[in-house]
Amino acid sequence: MSSKKEIEKRWITPKELKALHGFGLSTQAKMRVDKKIPYYKIGHFIKYDLNEINQWIENNKVDVRK
């Protein structure tokens, strides 16, 4: 069974996402409206699954030319 601390690390708020990855709050809001970022809405709270966000970032890699 997961501990509460592990569960808290999995779910992050928009402010925590901003601190971790630099996406501004208004940028996040636009990406949510445009369905460009994975998120969960629980009542009026927005939460991000940190594992999904990290995977989403990796999946959006742009290859550079050599």
What is the radius of gyration, based on Cα positions, of the chain? 13
Average pLDDT of every residue of the chain:
91
pLDDT tens, residue by residue, 41-60: 999 999 999 999 999 999 99
pLDDT band for position 36 (cuts 50, 70, 90): very high
CB 50 within 8 A of CB 64: no
pLDDT of residue 9: 80
pLDDT of 1 over the 70 cut: no
CA nearest 49: which of 6, 9, 2, 1?
Answer: 9
Q: Pseudo-torsion of CA 12, 22, 33, 59, nearest 10°?
A: -80
> How many Cβ atoms sit within 10 Å of the Cβ of residue 17?
22
Q: Is residue 40 within 8 Å of 48, Cβ to Cβ?
A: yes
